[in-house]
Amino acid sequence: MLQLYFFPMACSLSSRIALLEAGLDAQYHFAHIWTKKVVDDDSDFRGVSPKGAVPVLVLENGERLTESAAVLQYIADLKPATGLAPAFGDPDRYRLQEWLSFIGAEIHKGFLYPTFWYKDDGSLSKPRARITPTLSVPSAHLADREFLVGDRFTAADAHLTWALLVLRPAGVDIAQWPSLSAYLERMQARPAVREAIATEMALRKTLAA
Ligand SMILES: N[C@@H](CCC(=O)N[C@@H](CS)C(=O)NCC(=O)O)C(=O)O
């Protein structure tokens, strides 16, 4: 069975959403990204992945795959009929990769990482200034579209949904982009997205306690 190492409401949420959307069973392991301990057995998370970062997907053959863009596409390709990723050779496959790169680099590492996850000591003025033009890109794209790629939910939507959810606690009010607010509401109405968020929010609360 597939295994996913995750931290509640971290970027690994999108991999959980993809697994649920694909109807794939998996074992989930809570990896504490600050202490680098696997919560199940207090083992060293760096022994699972030297990156010490989630997501880590353990494949059926025991290999470990990291990086959300790769993990999400792997999950999607296990169940091609779900359309979570357009087939290789379809021009939309490159659109999917374009969005996964943009979300991972520009929103996640460019903004969420320094301002929310790791609260860098350095000046946050540049990431804060960049997030507005950055978000105007998906906002304009989604003004007249239901999904990021094509006409169905893909792994890119799973990843953007996670990023938009975390923007709120990172201090960005996405209400200023009505197309993004409406999109997030649509995505949150999906049963798989709702289930993934409910599961991880419950775990997140145990952390704060
Ligand atoms: N490029 C990686 C980034 C993974 C990443 O930074 N994950 C964060 C949580 S959102 C993490 O586990 N950070 C722990 C660390 O960097 O020490 C991806 O897209 O999957």
CATH number at residue 188: 1.20.1050.10
pTM over 0.75: yes
Q: For residue 200, what pLDDT is reported?
A: 97
Quote the CA–CA distance of 61 and 194 in Å, as a whole number: 30
Could you tell me which of 69, 68, 72, 39 has the C-alpha nearest to residue 55?
68
Could you tell me if residue 204 is inside a domain?
A: no
Number of structural domains in the chain:
2
Residues spanned by the domain of 172:
91-192
Ligand 1 geometric centre to CA of 4 (Å): 14
**Looking at residue 204, what DSSP letter applies?**
H
pLDDT at 124: 73
Helix (H, G, I), strand (E, B) or coil at 131: helix
Same domain, 114 and 163: yes
Low-confidence ranges of the chain (pLDDT < 50): none
CB 52 within 8 A of CB 45: yes
Q: What is the pLDDT of residue 120?
A: 59
Exposure class string for 104-142: b at 16+ Cβ within 10 A, else e: bebbbebbbbbbebeeeeeeeeebeeebeebbeebbebb
Residue 112 Cα to ligand 1 midpoint, Å, equals 11
pLDDT of residue 115: 79
Give per-residue pLDDT as tens, 78-136.
Answer: 999 999 999 999 999 999 999 999 999 999 998 888 777 666 566 677 778 889 999 99
Best residue among 14, 54, 109, 165 to mutate for probing ligand 1, ranked by most atoms within 8 Å of CB:
54
The CATH number assigned to the domain holding 19 equals: 3.40.30.10
Give the amino acid at 39.
V
* 206 within some domain: no
CA distance 51 to 112: 18
Instruction: Classify residue 199: in a domain, yes or no.
Output: no
Place of tokens 């760096």: 46
Q: From the DSSP assignment, how many helices (H) and strands (E) are in the chain?
A: 7, 6
Does 96 lie in the same domain as 186? yes
Residue 95 lies in a domain: yes
**Is there a single domain that holds both residue 60 and residue 129?**
no
Which of the listed residues 83, 105, 127 is the one where a domain comes to its end?
83
Pocket test for ligand 1, best of 6, 11, 44 (most atoms within 8 A of CB): 11
Residue 64 lies in a domain: yes
Q: How many angstroms separate the alpha carbon of residue 11 from the centre of ligand 1? A: 7
Structure tokens at 15: 């991999």
- Examine the fold and report which residue of 53, 83, 113 is the final residue of a domain before the chain moves on: 83
Confirm if 189 and 6 have CB atoms less than 8 A apart.
no
Q: Is residue 39 part of a domain?
A: yes
Q: 45, 117, 160: which to mutate for ligand 1, most atoms within 8 A of CB?
A: 117
Nearest CA to ligand 1 atom 13: 53
- Whether residues 67 and 106 share a domain: the answer is no
Confidence (pLDDT) at 209: 55
Domain boundary among 41, 65, 83: 83
Q: Does residue 164 share a domain with residue 72? A: no
Where does ligand 1 bind, in terms of residues with CB under 6 Å? 7, 10-11, 33, 52-55, 67-68, 104, 117
Q: Does residue 209 fall inside a structural domain?
A: no
CA separation for the pair 138, 172 (Å, rounded):
15
* Dihedral angle of Cα 159, 164, 169, 170, to the nearest 10 degrees: 90
65 Cα: distance to centroid of ligand 1 (angstroms): 13
